[in-house]
């Protein structure tokens, strides 16, 4: 079997100088593209990925497969944090977008729009607890900002508690609520206001809530960039209880765990949490048109009654995104999707249990439905595994806040045959990893 699914092998007909010529031309244009990207975008990002042996430049994409511009193919098991949970260019979602573009454009954010109202109604009705309103934003980071501002407005308090090694985006508020070092880099850290507590430490959470007037607790249901450590039994519900006791809002960040990925429509509800506000994004866009949202319970939606322009964004709630979002939500709610997630979850659980028995480098499997963290031997185990999987045609990225761990987020609509192929490739990659590193 070739190392990559569907590889168009450039060395075929090796004696053929024309083919060699073509390959050299492709390599030099690839090099040139890297140089241009490094010059006008992020040189550091270009360097870092290449130094880790991951040199993907995405060309064609369909379903759960990506092709590099060279023709090398990969199973996408990162899906941009679940942005492509339903696959790349899902036919229903693509059709909805193309049809929308026959009559719609971004729209005007000042005015009512049928597409925006329809998505707001569908999202609020789907959410756990009692959600009164939706505020649409272009990104998950901005939806986080809206949630924190709404908590501050409702409580009259300023402090925010977030999880140490949580990630909610890189805007001003969401960034300060995330990794301190990253916020400090741009002089945007504010540790007096943004308190950090370890995940799964209920005592630390209560001490932080006691220590000052806290507006909200910002909680990723399963912290993604930290490598998907599952919440301890009862932890999230207990945090929600503490929030109630101390008058703070519980904000569930469902950007990665929402829309069916854990086996429930919204991950937090499976853990017994009805949040005061909820953030969604990524898969809501179908990977086709940016749309994210903050859903607000009655207390926190109050400002929408008195201040129509408290949050303003030209592209927040852009109409094509709302059309796609409504279709993506329907896909997530379809019983067939939940059935598939449950079947695939069991298949991956079996496959990883088997791999763990045979590959000592795979130390731990953290799984909640199709939210899967694979913990490897050594402090950079996830980084090394990423490269070996990549070489075998499977793309999944390591967890930045715990580089022992690989974030493995397979598609919700994969078939059994596709799962088998992905697992076979991963198994071979682990054999290689052990052989080359021993
Ligand atoms: C859990 C979580 N919340 C929020 C965000 C921010 O979303 P965006 O990149 O759309 O700003 C992300 C992005 O990766 C995320 O993983």
CA-nearest residue, atom 3 of ligand 1: 168
DSSP state of 284: G
Please state, rounded to an integer, the average pLDDT across all residues of the chain. Answer: 94
CA of 142 from ligand 1 middle (Å) equals 9
Give the SS3 label for residue 278.
strand
How high is the pLDDT of residue 12?
A: 37
How high is the pLDDT of residue 26?
A: 72
Half-sphere exposure (Cβ direction) of 71: Cα atoms closer than 13 Å? 11
CA of 9 from ligand 1 middle (Å) equals 36
- CB of 303 within 6 A of ligand 1: the answer is no
Looking at per-residue confidence, does 438 or 273 come out higher?
Answer: 273
How high is the pLDDT of residue 7?
A: 40
Mean pLDDT of 309-316: 97
β-pairing verdict for 214-220 and 133-137: unpaired
Paired with 136 in beta bridges are 293
- In this model, does residue 28 exceed pLDDT 90? no
> Which atom of ligand 1 lies closest to the CA of 220?
1
How high is the pLDDT of residue 231?
A: 98
Mean pLDDT of 415-429: 98
How high is the pLDDT of residue 17?
A: 66
Mean pLDDT of 342-358: 98
Contact 227, 401 (CB under 8 A): yes
- Helices 416-437 and 335-358, interaxial angle, to 10°? 30
Mean pLDDT of 209-219: 95
β-pairing verdict for 397-399 and 402-408: antiparallel
Buried b (16+ CB within 10 A) or exposed e, 67-85: bbebebbbbbbbbebbbbb
- CB of 290 within 6 A of ligand 1: the answer is no
Give the global pTM: 0.94
Cα distances from 283 to residues 183, 189, 193, 287, 376, in angstroms, run 26, 29, 31, 6, 28
- CB of 224 within 6 A of ligand 1: the answer is yes
Contact 284, 259 (CB under 8 A): yes
- CB of 367 within 6 A of ligand 1: the answer is no
How high is the pLDDT of residue 24?
A: 74
DSSP state of 393: T
- CB of 267 within 6 A of ligand 1: the answer is no
Number of Cβ within a 10 Å radius of residue 153: 17
- In this model, does residue 3 exceed pLDDT 70? no
- In this model, does residue 11 exceed pLDDT 70? no
- CB of 167 within 6 A of ligand 1: the answer is yes
How high is the pLDDT of residue 9?
A: 37
Phi, psi of 398 (to 5 degrees): -75, 165
C-alpha span between 284 and 104 (Å, rounded): 19
- In this model, does residue 10 exceed pLDDT 60? no
Closest-CA residue to 30 (of 50, 2, 3, 13): 50
Give the percent of the chain with pLDDT over 90.
Answer: 93
- In this model, does residue 6 exceed pLDDT 70? no
> Which atom of ligand 1 lies closest to the CA of 169?
6
Give the SS3 label for residue 159.
strand
Which tens digit of pLDDT belongs to each residue from 274-287?
A: 999 999 999 999 99
Structure confidence at residue 66 as a pLDDT band (50, 70, 90)? very high
**Domains and their CATH numbers in the chain:** 17-82+335-437 (3.90.1150.10), 91-333 (3.40.640.10)
CA of 398 from ligand 1 middle (Å) equals 16
- CB of 145 within 6 A of ligand 1: the answer is no
């Amino acid at each position: 079997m070739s190392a990559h699914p569907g590889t168009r092998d450039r060395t075929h007909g090796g004696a053929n100088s024309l083919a060699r010529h073509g390959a050299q031309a492709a390599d030099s244009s690839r090099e040139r593209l890297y140089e241009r990207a490094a010059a006008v975008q992020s040189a550091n990002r270009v360097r870092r990925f290449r130094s880790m042996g991951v040199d993907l430049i995405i060309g064609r994409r369909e379903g759960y497969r990506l092709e590099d511009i060279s023709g090398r193919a990969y199973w996408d098991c990162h899906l941009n944090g679940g942005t492509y949970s339903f696959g790349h260019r899902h036919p229903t979602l693509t059709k909805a977008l193309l049809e929308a573009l026959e009559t719609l454009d971004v729209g005007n954010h000042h005015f009512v729009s049928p597409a925006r109202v329809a998505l707001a109604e569908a999202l609020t009705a789907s959410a756990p607890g009692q959600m009164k309103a939706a505020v649409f934003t272009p990104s998950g980071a901005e939806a986080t900002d809206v949630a924190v501002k709404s908590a501050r407005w409702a409580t009259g308090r300023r402090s925010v508690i977030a999880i140490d090694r949580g990630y909610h985006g890189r805007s001003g508020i969401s960034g300060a609520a995330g990794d301190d070092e990253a916020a400090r880099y741009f002089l945007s850290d504010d540790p007096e206001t943004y308190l950090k507590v370890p995940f799964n430490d209920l005592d630390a959470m209560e001490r932080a809530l006691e220590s000052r007037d806290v507006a909200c607790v910002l909680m990723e249901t399963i912290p993604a960039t930290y490598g998907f450590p599952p919440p301890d039994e009862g932890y999230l519900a207990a945090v929600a209880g503490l929030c109630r006791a101390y008058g703070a809002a519980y904000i569930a960040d469902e950007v990665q765990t929402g829309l069916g990925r854990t086996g429930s429509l919204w991950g937090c509800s499976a853990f017994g949490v009805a949040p005061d506000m909820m953030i969604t994004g990524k898969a809501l866009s179908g990977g086709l048109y940016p749309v994210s949202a903050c859903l607000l319970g009655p207390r926190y939606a109050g400002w929408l009654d008195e201040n129509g322009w408290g949050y303003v964004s030209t592209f927040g709630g852009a109409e094509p995104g709302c059309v796609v979002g409504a279709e993506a939500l329907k896909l997530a709610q379809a019983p067939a999707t939940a059935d598939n997630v449950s079947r695939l979850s069991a298949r991956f659980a079996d496959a990883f249990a088997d791999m763990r028995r045979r590959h000592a480098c795979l130390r731990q499997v953290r799984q909640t439905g199709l939210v899967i963290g694979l913990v490897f031997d050594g402090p950079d185990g996830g980084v090394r595994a990423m490269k070996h999987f990549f070489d075998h045609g499977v793309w999944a990225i390591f967890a930045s806040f715990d580089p022992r761990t690989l974030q493995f987020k397979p598609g919700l609509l994969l078939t059994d045959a596709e799962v088998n192929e992905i697992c076979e490739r991963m198994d071979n990659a682990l054999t290689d990893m052990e052989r080359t590193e021993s």
